Amino acid sequence: MTQEQLMKKKMHRSVVWSVITTIALLIFIGLYIDETRRVQETYRAQFNANLAHTADSVDSYIHAEGDFELKYRRIISDMSSADSFAFLLKHLSEEQKIMVNELHTCLLKYPEQMKEPERMEALLDTVTDLQANLDKGFQEAKEIVDSIDRKGH
């Protein structure tokens, strides 16, 4: 074999390897995108489940006759989980993520104000709208957060 034939053979081999490598890279990119989509769906499902638990806890608090502290702690716990998943979701804007976080913060820092019946009713509506993925849920959350007197309990 001449030098030219050897070079052609090496060139053909390198082209074949380049094509194989490119195909493998495209497959891995496709698998990565698919897995990312599935993970986001899981996060969304968990976010919605935690919002549903929060709504149930708020409803239980509103209609309860017993241990209000325990029921309020359940609300905080459920909202904390929803808040954690909100920051993992890519389809929520930064403002929406911050609004969910501020709502959770108000539950933690200002329990006396948040325990008022009209605020609990508003919280139930807000959480239900957030779970339904309605933009008005974020507006309602903003209204609740803005209604809190942050200087007192």
- The answer to whether the CB of 35 falls within 8 A of the CB of 29 is no
pLDDT of residue 2: 87
The residues spanned by each domain of the chain are 44-147
What SS3 state is found at 45?
Answer: helix
- The fraction of the chain above a pLDDT of 90, given in percent, is 67
Angle at 29 between CA 16 and CA 33, to 5 degrees: 160
Contact 126, 141 (CB under 8 A): yes
CATH number for domain 44-147, candidates 1.10.3210, 3.30.2420, 1.20.120, 3.10.50: 1.20.120
* SS3 state of residue 92: coil
Q: What is the DSSP letter of 110?
A: -
Residues in the chain: 153
In whole angstroms, give the CA distance from residue 125 to residue 117: 13
pLDDT digits (tens, 9 = 90+) for 18-36: 999 999 999 999 999 999 9
Q: What is the pLDDT of residues 63-118, one digit of tens each?
A: 877 788 889 999 999 999 999 999 999 988 899 999 999 999 999 999 898 888 89
CA 131 to chain CA centroid, Å, is 11
The predicted model gives 30-47 an average pLDDT of: 95
| Mean of pLDDT values over 26-50 | 95
pLDDT at 153: 54
Model confidence at 13, pLDDT cuts 50, 70, 90, reads very high
In this prediction the pTM is 0.80
Average pLDDT, the chain: 91
Whose structure tokens read 């969304």?
A: 44
Given phi > 0 = left and psi -120 to 50 = alpha, else beta, which region is 116? beta
Provide the pLDDT for residue 47: 94
In this structure, is the dihedral angle defined by the CA atoms of residues 105, 107, 125 and 50, taken in order, positive or negative?
A: positive
Cα–Cα distance measured from residue 51 to residue 74, given in angstroms and rounded to the nearest whole number: 12
